[in-house]
């Protein structure tokens, strides 16, 4: 069988082509847009499927130089750190902090359920983590990052493939579940909208989400070349210092490569906010982060070895069905009750299904479908997008890392 080899630049160039193929398909197939399936996932899975077909027929194989995949990943998570401003947390008030705690609790439970079922079925407990908060709360970006870690350090072949499949399942399930959960709560308790306007911060937070598509015009002034170069310099500095920090931390615990850079970036952001020495331009950082994520995800997906998924498909489906069931129960009996048992809490519960099983844009889509029918929910649109876009990645990374170090072979 002939093997077609791509060097570092050719691999990135192919990833860009596959990415825009994904955008084109996504625009033309409504169901993909409805469930907020990211363009890198659409194009990457299609390319991986073609690769599988060519391999199974003995026609052609591909070999990629993915040297730049890791730097793109670290750059993306660095931009997440640069978005984590304590000033935003203060603006959101106690409700943002409370929902962050609930979202983090869900992540703990997702990993507990995943690992327990995996062990009961006699499969690698890391499969339970990959089908837990890594992909349910974390989404495709976190899934690819930790999948790569498990392949390289824990000899778990196909971890990235499992993560991408689980994250996609979560996106679809979260999109289907949120509306019915919110509607049931509103009707059961005869809840009414208190009126008001959706806060502008909701749109800013959704645009800042790592899953927000870049083929729409974001909020904020377009960056100049100087501002763009300045933010690139900040990101690179955080990556460099964070790399040294991660290496030091790695002596004590197992960590994904991005943790140090994300923490250093968060410190840099809040130091900049406090001293006013440097203004962190949110739109520029968001744009750079989305570009890095798009290329990183596309490279990860187009090099998937789908044939490695076959042996793990059965246990993974069982775990994912359990995750969907738990999400519905958690949103109904925990999110709704703790967030106030009112109309906004019901809308937030519907949004949490999209957020806890997929991504922030899924949550916003779920909440939009509810408010279009029942009336506005300003508090829900302030709290949930802010936690999803700016804060959950930090607590989720700590939770995942703790689980890995507890169950590692």
Read off the pLDDT of residues 29-55 as tens digits, 9 standing for 90 and up. Answer: 888 877 667 788 889 889 989 998 998
Measured CA to CA, the distance from residue 260 to residue 242 in angstroms comes to 4
Would you state the pLDDT for residue 359?
A: 82
**Mean residue pLDDT across the chain:** 88
Report the candidate in 345, 404, 334 with the shortest Cα–Cα distance to residue 377.
345
Question: Which of 152-156, 224-228, 322-326 shows the highest mean pLDDT?
Answer: 322-326
What are φ and ψ of residue 231, in 5° steps? -70, -35
Q: Which pLDDT band holds residue 6 (cuts at 50, 70, 90)?
A: very high
Would you state the pLDDT for residue 304?
A: 81
Q: Does the pLDDT of residue 311 top 80, yes or no? A: no
CA 185, 190, 191, 195 dihedral sign is positive
Read off the pLDDT of residues 331-357 as tens digits, 9 standing for 90 and up. Answer: 999 999 999 999 999 999 999 999 999
Give me the mean pLDDT over the 232-248 stretch: 94
Mean pLDDT lowest for which of 245-254, 269-278, 312-321, 376-385? 245-254
Would you state the pLDDT for residue 219?
A: 52
Would you state the pLDDT for residue 136?
A: 96
Structure tokens given for 152: 């390289």
Q: Which distant-in-sequence residues (6+ apart) come within 8 Å of 306 by Cβ?
A: 48, 49, 51, 52, 161
Measured CA to CA, the distance from residue 109 to residue 112 in angstroms comes to 5
CB contact at 8 A, 394 and 262: yes
Give me the mean pLDDT over the 232-257 stretch: 89
Would you state the pLDDT for residue 72?
A: 93
**Which string of DSSP letters, residue by residue, matches 105-148?**
HHHHHHHHHHHHHHHHTTS-HHHHHHTTTTTTTTHHHHHHHHHH
Measured CA to CA, the distance from residue 155 to residue 139 in angstroms comes to 22
**Beta strands 2-6 and 60-64, pairing class:** parallel
Would you state the pLDDT for residue 203?
A: 52
Measured CA to CA, the distance from residue 116 to residue 317 in angstroms comes to 14
Q: Does the pLDDT of residue 330 top 90, yes or no? A: yes
Give me the mean pLDDT over the 175-179 stretch: 90
Mean pLDDT lowest for which of 83-87, 139-143, 259-263? 83-87
What percentage of the chain's residues is helix, strand, coil (to nearest 5)? 75, 0, 20
Give me the mean pLDDT over the 142-171 stretch: 91
Would you state the pLDDT for residue 223?
A: 66
Give me the mean pLDDT over the 238-254 stretch: 89
For the chain, percent of residues with pLDDT exceeding 70: 92
Mean pLDDT lowest for which of 52-56, 165-169, 203-207, 375-379? 203-207
Would you state the pLDDT for residue 217?
A: 52
Structure tokens given for 196: 């008001």
Count of alpha carbons within 13 angstroms of residue 9, beta-carbon side: 0
Would you state the pLDDT for residue 210?
A: 47
First vs last C-alpha separation in the chain? 36
CB contact at 8 A, 351 and 178: yes
Read off the pLDDT of residues 83-138 as tens digits, 9 standing for 90 and up. Answer: 878 887 777 789 999 999 999 999 999 999 999 999 999 999 999 999 999 999 99
Would you state the pLDDT for residue 241?
A: 96
Q: Which pLDDT band holds residue 197 (cuts at 50, 70, 90)?
A: low
Task: Name the more confident of 305 and 16.
Answer: 16
Would you state the pLDDT for residue 67?
A: 93
């Amino acid at each position: 069988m002939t093997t077609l080899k791509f060097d570092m630049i050719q691999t990135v160039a192919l990833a860009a082509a596959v990415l825009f193929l994904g955008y084109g398909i996504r625009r033309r197939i409504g169901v993909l847009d409805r469930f907020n399936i990211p363009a890198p996932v659409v194009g990457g899975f299609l390319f991986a499927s073609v690769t599988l077909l060519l391999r199974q027929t003995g026609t052609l194989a591909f070999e990629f130089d993915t040297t730049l995949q890791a730097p793109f990943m670290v750059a993306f998570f660095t931009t997440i750190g640069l978005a984590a401003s304590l000033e935003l947390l203060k603006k959101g008030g106690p409700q943002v902090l409370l929902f962050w705690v609930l979202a983090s609790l869900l992540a703990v439970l997702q990993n507990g359920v995943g690992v327990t079922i995996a062990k009961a079925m006699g499969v690698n407990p890391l499969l339970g983590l990959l089908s837990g908060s890594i992909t349910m709360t974390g989404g495709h970006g976190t899934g690819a990052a930790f999948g790569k870690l498990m392949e390289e350090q824990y000899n778990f072949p196909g971890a990235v493939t499992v993560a991408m499949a689980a994250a996609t399942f979560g996106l679809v399930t979260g999109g289907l579940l949120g509306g019915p959960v919110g509607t049931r709560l509103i009707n059961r308790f005869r809840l009414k909208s208190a009126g008001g306007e959706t806060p502008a911060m909701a749109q800013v937070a959704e645009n800042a989400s790592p899953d927000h598509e870049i083929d729409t015009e974001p909020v904020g002034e377009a960056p100049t070349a100087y501002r763009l170069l300045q933010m690139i310099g900040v990101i690179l500095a955080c990556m460099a210092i964070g790399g040294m920090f991660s290496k030091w931390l790695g002596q004590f615990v197992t960590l994904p490569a991005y943790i140090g850079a994300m923490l250093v970036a968060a410190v840099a952001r809040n130091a900049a906010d406090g001293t006013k020495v440097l203004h962190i331009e949110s739109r520029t950082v968001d744009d750079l982060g989305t570009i890095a994520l798009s290329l990183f995800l596309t490279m990860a997906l187009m090099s998937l070895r789908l044939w490695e998924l076959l042996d793990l498909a059965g246990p993974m489906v069982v775990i994912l069905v359990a995750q969907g069931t738990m999400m519905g129960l958690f949103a109904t009996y925990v999110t709704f009750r703790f967030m106030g048992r009112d109309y906004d809490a019901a809308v937030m519960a519907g949004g949490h299904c999209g957020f806890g099983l997929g991504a922030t844009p899924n949550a916003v889509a779920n909440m939009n479908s509810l408010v279009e029918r029942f009336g506005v929910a300003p508090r829900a649109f302030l709290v949930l997008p802010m936690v999803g876009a700016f804060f959950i990645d930090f607590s989720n990374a700590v939770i995942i890392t703790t689980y890995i170090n507890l169950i590692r072979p």
